[in-house]
Amino acid sequence: MNLVPPDTLIVMFGGNGDLSRRKLIPALWRLHQEGLLPGNWRIIGNSRNEFSDEAFDTFAKEAITEFCGLEPDGEAWDVFADRLSYVSEEFTPDNTDAVRDAVLAAERDLGGEVCRLFYLAVPPPAFPIITEALHAAKLTQRARVVYEKPFGLDQDSFKELNQLSHRVLDDEQIYTIDHFLGKETLQNVLAMRFANGMFEPVWNRSHIDHVQIDVPEELGIGTRGSFYERTGALRDMVVTHLFQVLGVIAMEPPYAFDAKPLLDEKLKVFESMLPLRGADTVRGQFDGYREVDGVASDSQTETFVAARVYVDNWRWAGVPFYLRTGKRMADSRQSVTLAFREPPSGLFPGLNGEERDGLPNDHLTLELGGQEGMQITFLAKKPGPALELTPATMTFAYESSFGSEAIGPYERLLHDALMGDRTLFTRADGIERTWEIVADVLASPPALEPYAQDSWGPTASDELIAPRRWHLPEE
């Protein structure tokens, strides 16, 4: 199987921004080290800020050092740095010359009509401007355009951007990215379910009591106050990452692991989801958020969301999916927990009813962040003469099982985009449906609940899941 992409020119709009620094440049460096970049390639960074080629080299080296764990050097770095350049000019429909000239010059250097990959690592309001500018500059031929999330901020803005992008680009040129879909463990859900006879028979409402998708974050807003004010946790995390994870967990088996069948099955999940109601939603804001630069003193933007959603189809009817995410929480975690129903037997007295509250349901946990892997927790007999049950676990981790860590999501998705593979990207009809699901809550949001920094969010989120409880990292 050929894993080397065709010769490509990569243009990163927002090239000296936070996303490029933390994710894109380190991911491209790792692909370079693994021999998974094209045989011939160039990277052009762009922003309206003054930035020289030399400054971009330094920026890239510092980013790789910080986020890859070691300073790049030697021939590998010389080759990488030699292929970096920068254009300091705002790219708009009326101001395309600098970027267009740099693209054409780089293509001549590469040897002609190579593939073009444009990555929009910019705030969502810039998406339409850059899309129109690509059209005005006549750069859409042989192009793939990667849009970061969120793609729109509500139904209306999604439709406007979708119509514009499809007027300028063909559907197969549009890559709407959600990096959670590039996580190895989430992809492994499909293998675990459909390649093993032990899981699929119990992956349904008859055996599963509830599902939790939990993404608390210790980090705050940082310097993104003005951006976050326009989005908030519901738009930034739930409509994008958490719904996409839910789609993979709840989907029916696709007839093949290809883009269309996989995206079709996720769409069926979204279409089966009941609209989110205010009564099933908790919005919170951490103490001190309104003091962050760029945040209004009377801000009503949520930094925390917990929600209860239902997939109303044959497999999942009546099973609640609990979603939680927030900033400045007690710990960072990205996990999915499927809690199985309690057995009906009275063979072990004291395990049913109130006395069982101190023991967790037997459950399967998928770790999507940090040390990716899976853990099955169940009740087992504690060693000794008495028949005493206690929780036990079996763990699968990529590093211990395969001798290496899982490939990072941005490496995977950037490589897929270079290869022209849209399987792990999102699709317009699915995105539109997710905006429909949250439309009522966006129009009439529940009142904000304050919560202390370094906590687990508002107490109302515990009431939302009661009598169940959130599975915390230490468990």
Q: What residue segments make up the domains of the chain, in order of their start?
A: 8-148, 181-465
C-alpha–C-alpha distance, residues 393 and 337, integer Å: 14
C-alpha–C-alpha distance, residues 241 and 180, integer Å: 6
Mean pLDDT of 208-215: 94
pLDDT band at 193 (very low <50, low <70, confident <90, very high): confident
Q: Which amino acid is at 112?
A: G
C-alpha–C-alpha distance, residues 157 and 154, integer Å: 6
β-bridge partners, 47: 88
Q: What is the pLDDT of residue 405?
A: 59
Q: Could you tell me what percent of the chain has a pLDDT over 70?
A: 93
Q: For residue 241, indicate whether it is catalytic.
A: yes
Q: What is the pLDDT of residue 331?
A: 92
Has domain 8-148 been given CATH number 3.40.50.720? yes
Q: What is the pLDDT of residue 357?
A: 43
> Residue 335: pLDDT above 70?
yes
> Residue 359: pLDDT above 50?
no
Structure tokens at 430: 């699915």
C-alpha–C-alpha distance, residues 443 and 348, integer Å: 49
C-alpha–C-alpha distance, residues 415 and 29, integer Å: 12
Q: What is the pLDDT of residue 352?
A: 46
Least trusted range by pLDDT, from 201-210, 299-308, 375-384? 375-384
Mean pLDDT of 139-151: 93
Q: What is the pLDDT of residue 397?
A: 78
> Residue 450: pLDDT above 90?
yes
Least trusted range by pLDDT, from 29-33, 70-74, 317-321? 70-74
pLDDT band at 316 (very low <50, low <70, confident <90, very high): very high
Q: What is the pLDDT of residue 346?
A: 63
Residue 427 neighbours by CB distance under 10 Å: 18
8-148 and 181-465: identical CATH topology: no
C-alpha–C-alpha distance, residues 319 and 208, integer Å: 7
Superfamily of domain 181-465: Dihydrodipicolinate Reductase; domain 2 (3.30.360.10)
Helix (H) or strand (E) holding 464: helix 459-465
C-alpha–C-alpha distance, residues 310 and 291, integer Å: 36
Mean pLDDT of 293-314: 95
Mean pLDDT of 281-298: 94
C-alpha–C-alpha distance, residues 220 and 294, integer Å: 13
Q: What is the pLDDT of residue 275?
A: 96
Catalytic residue among 241, 363, 415, 471: 241
> Residue 355: pLDDT above 50?
no
Mean pLDDT of 160-178: 93
Q: What is the pLDDT of residue 191?
A: 83
C-alpha–C-alpha distance, residues 232 and 288, integer Å: 15
Q: What is the pLDDT of residue 383?
A: 84
Please state the pTM of the whole predicted model.
0.90
